[in-house]
A and B are shown apart, each in its own frame.
Chain A
Amino acid sequence: MNTEFMFFIQLVVSGIALGCLYALIAVGFVLILKATGIMNFAQGEVIMLSAFICYFLVTTFHVPFLVAVLLTGIIAGLMGIVTERLILRPMLGEPIFSVVMVTIGLSIFLRSMAGILFGHNNLVFPSPFPTEAVKMGGIVVSQTEIWIMLSSLVLAAVFFIFFKYSRMGLAMRGTADHQDVALLMGISVKQVFALIWAVSFITAAASGVFLANVMVINLGLSVVAIGAFPAIVLGGLESIPGAIVGGLAIGIIENLAGGYLDQIIGGGVKDVTPFVVLFLVLMIRPYGLFGKKEIERV
């Protein structure tokens, strides 16, 4: 096969791997958005904290990797519940703006706490995945990436089934529509919220652990979450399948832009392209690719 074509395919494949990471991060955002209408700006910090926690579990406490991942998930879940209980529950019924601002405050708080607790050094995760990459017909995929893709896929399927068919999933969707009516249906909105924050934080923990495997762990890790914003919006803010498709699209677009546009236009187009694409998509579809158009009823 000619090298030009292989280059393209390889860009797309690594774009998919990157996209899965974005998708995973985006799902964490979308879960909370969907159920409570809140954009959680502290999501990036949770991702970063999880990476640190997993790192220290493995290096300082010599916990086996899989157990460490499990523990990180549990800690993140607990953090979610605590966050909901202490910070967001008192805000029930307050303007959404103020609640979003509280999450910004939380992000500032968590970031500096991470600095205090874990230091400011650049840390490198002793990756449990073999560095030997898998080669399939000339296409290279690292084992870490395979794991990222698989777990994103599994998580997506689990969420889809959960929201479509389970009693609790239905309750969550109902709560997303009308909190007060959900209360009247006998749904414990408090429980729903606690659960949703826990699940979202666990998803963030998963993306944190994976990021730790591909990036240097430091306080800057939280910024990656901003890179997932275009994915969320492309997906239409409240749709989980949308977030996943959005994530993949952004991953691929970013890599293709890096591979082709960077040479032509020059200078870091790779990072800007997702945002330009996002802007253009919104011009044509103001509710993202998968978002529902709200019907104006007066």
Chain B
Amino acid sequence: MDLLEIRQLSLNFSGIVALSDVHMAVKKGQIHAIIGPNGAGKTSLFNCLSGVYVPTEGDILVEGKSIIGLKPHKIAKLGIARTFQNIELFANMNVIDNLLLGRHIHMKSGPFSGSFFIGKTLREEVKNRLKVEEIIDFLEIEKVRKQLVGSLPYGIQKRVELGRALTMNPKILLLDEPAAGMNLEETEDIARFVLDINEELGITILLVEHDMGVVMDIVDEITVLDFGSQVANGSPREIQANPKVIEAYLGQEE
């Protein structure tokens, strides 16, 4: 069974068709990319997956269970984590707190126990802090631990956002343009992290990216969207050779 399956998904938005009849499947353990021109509906698809938008038609199955109509926080509990195109970090918290928020679904303390901060709550905080520190090590952001994320440079913020998604211990990680606005070195870093996450942590990854260098090099499968509908699906090699994709998206190589 595929980990994630999208069936005949359509989304209308103030009279504008954002997605129509999209279907695709993400296999467990793979890195899967969605590419397509701007306005093709890639981000809208992500928003449907994480429950921010409710699709007009179709179905989304995670491990065979439909997540249509579930609120975002319920979907998060099912193991879907994501990052955003324009960084959506909590700018007034420090890095640790941002990552600890990622642990939200794995923690239990409520308003009463929180007010007293003894015993179980304290132990829980420390335990989750350990997990957060692991991710901090993994992403090499030890130095900025206690800084407010709002004051960090763009590249680091992107990495923190990735970390925040990772602390959720997701089954599937949705990455929305992880390499956008990065220079070569930073792009390399991100590419490496994506591979590591996939290999070492065994997390399935679905990503949207415009940097064809990255996409073609690291992913297992690609889905191409244009005007809200699916144009092609296949391995990087197949996609690169697909005339429809070249016409709509890649352009002729000079």
A interface residues (Cβ-Cβ under 8 A, vs B): 295-296, 298
Contacts and interface: CB of A to CB of B under 8 A. Distances in A.
Interface in B63-120: 84-86, 88
Contacts of B85: 298
B50 to A, nearest CB: 9
Contacts of B52: 296, 298
B235 interface: no
Nearest to B82: A298
Contacts of A295: 14
9 contacts: A295-B14, A296-B52, A298-B43, A298-B47, A298-B52, A298-B84, A298-B85, A298-B86, A298-B88
A298 to B, nearest CB: 5
Interface residues of B, number: 8
Nearest to B88: A298
A295 B18 CA distance: 14
Given A295-B14, A298-B52, 6 more contacts: A296-B52, A298-B47, A298-B84, A298-B85, A298-B86, A298-B88
A298 B52 CA distance: 9
A165 B85 CA distance: 36
Interface string B24-45: 0000000000000000000100
B121 to A, nearest CB: 31
A295 B43 CA distance: 14
Contacts of A296: 52
A227 to B, nearest CB: 35
A298 B48 CA distance: 12
Contacts of B88: 298
Contacts of A298: 43, 47, 52, 84-86, 88
A296 B85 CA distance: 13
A95 to B, nearest CB: 11
A296 B86 CA distance: 13
A178 to B, nearest CB: 15
Nearest to B84: A298
B147 to A, nearest CB: 20
3 smallest beta-carbon distances between A and B, as pairs: A298-B84, A298-B88, A298-B52
A32 to B, nearest CB: 27
